[in-house]
Amino acid sequence: MTTPLQLAIRFILELAAVVAAGVVGASVGSPPLGIVGGVGLAAMFIVVWGLFLAPRARFPQPAMVRLVVGTLVMEAPALGLAIVGQTTAGAILAAAILANAVALAATGAASRAGDEALTR
């Protein structure tokens, strides 16, 4: 796999984690509370990601920290899916996130992408 493909897969997995956070939040309760929970949890995920973990974050972190902490933050909604009863979807998402993180770390793609983003 090439580095741009790995980074594109990472981005798709980030979007999937946002959706998963929304699904987990929506499972909080009945429709009014579920809608608020779904939107709120997805928004919270996006804010945390944008402030600390995105390549052009407001408070940038070193590339390896972004990879490790970002992977853990993305795994949380996947675990949440398993807890709320979407076990298969949660397991597939968690495995895909972990496999992508290992591939990025093994090829050094995460550190190169971080360096490029910080110089822009």
Q: How far is CA 38 from CA 16, 72, 79, 100, 117, in A?
A: 14, 20, 16, 26, 30
pLDDT for 118 equals 45
DSSP string, 99-117: HHHHHHHHHTHHHHHHHHH
- Is the pLDDT at 93 greater than 60? The verdict is yes
- Is the pLDDT at 75 greater than 90? The verdict is yes
pLDDT-derived band at 108 (thresholds 50, 70, 90) equals: confident
SS3 content of the chain, % helix, strand, coil (to 5): 85, 0, 15
Domain regions of the chain by residue span: 3-119
Supply φ then ψ for residue 117, to 5 degrees: -70, -35
In terms of Cβ atoms closer than 10 Å to its own Cβ (0-12, 13-18, 19+), residue 13 is buried
SS3 54: coil
Which residues neighbour 62 within 8 Å (Cβ) at sequence distance 6 or greater?
114
